[in-house]
Amino acid sequence: MKEGDIRFIKWLVLVNGAVPLALLVWDQAHHRLGANPQNFLILTTGMMALIFLTLTMAVTPVRKVFGLNWVIQLRRMLGLYAFFYACLHFLCFYSLDRAFSLSSTLHEIVVRKYIWFGMTALLVMVPLAITSTNAMIKRLGGKRWRALHRLAYVAAVAGAIHFYMQVKADVRLPLVFIAVLAVLLGYRALNYLRNRKPAPVPAPAK
């Protein structure tokens, strides 16, 4: 695929990734986020973070299964969107649910197990976002960079568990996320096992 086409597709991702945020802001400005807009903002930003994490996880399988090598070039932007929405999600929790109280936010982070998973996902994405630039990839070297960025799996799994644990009773939607992630990660695990070099045959004992 041509350089110009890739640039265009990146623009597509950039614009479309911002659409949910634009609609959230628009709806909020028109008081159309329902009876509990605070809750809606927290839930929707969290959901968007999880959707983008899942899309990031889907890049490599899609590339390999459909032979679309160029999709790899979208991964950074998808990952950064995941981090962006996760940050918004946390800010909404801090401002709307905890009313800007630092102490009660910290208290909640310490005592709620489901928040441990959410915070894990968020914190794990911080070094990934920082090292997402070309310069950082060069500085770290491809091998170390790839190893570090396997943390994205941790973020995705922790994020999905966080969602599952937070739901009151109807766990169908979190289970959908978990199922999709299981397929994507299962594909990678299978690939890994298949590509692993066969163990060297030990010399026959004499």
CA distance 162 to 156: 10
Q: Of the two residues 149 and 163, which places its CB atom closer to another protein in the complex?
A: 163
Per CB under 8 A, the list member of 1, 3, 6, 33 interacting with another protein is: 33
Residue 3 within binding range of another protein, rule CB under 8 A: no
Candidates 18-26, 123-131, 156-164, 198-206: pick the segment binding another protein (CB under 8 A): 18-26
Per DSSP, helices labelled H in 93-150 are 102-111, 113-130, 134-140, 142-148
CA distance 115 to 49: 15
For 33, 153, 190, the CA distances from 185, given in Å and listed in that order, are 34, 8, 9
Per CB under 8 A, the list member of 109, 166, 185, 188 interacting with another protein is: 166
What's the number of CA atoms in the CB half-sphere (13 Å) around residue 200? 3
Candidates 24-32, 56-64, 176-184, 185-193: pick the segment binding another protein (CB under 8 A): 24-32
Residues in the site for another protein, rule: CB under 8 A? 8, 11-12, 15-16, 19-20, 23, 26-27, 30, 32-36, 38-40, 44, 47, 97, 99, 104, 107-108, 111-114, 165-166, 168-170
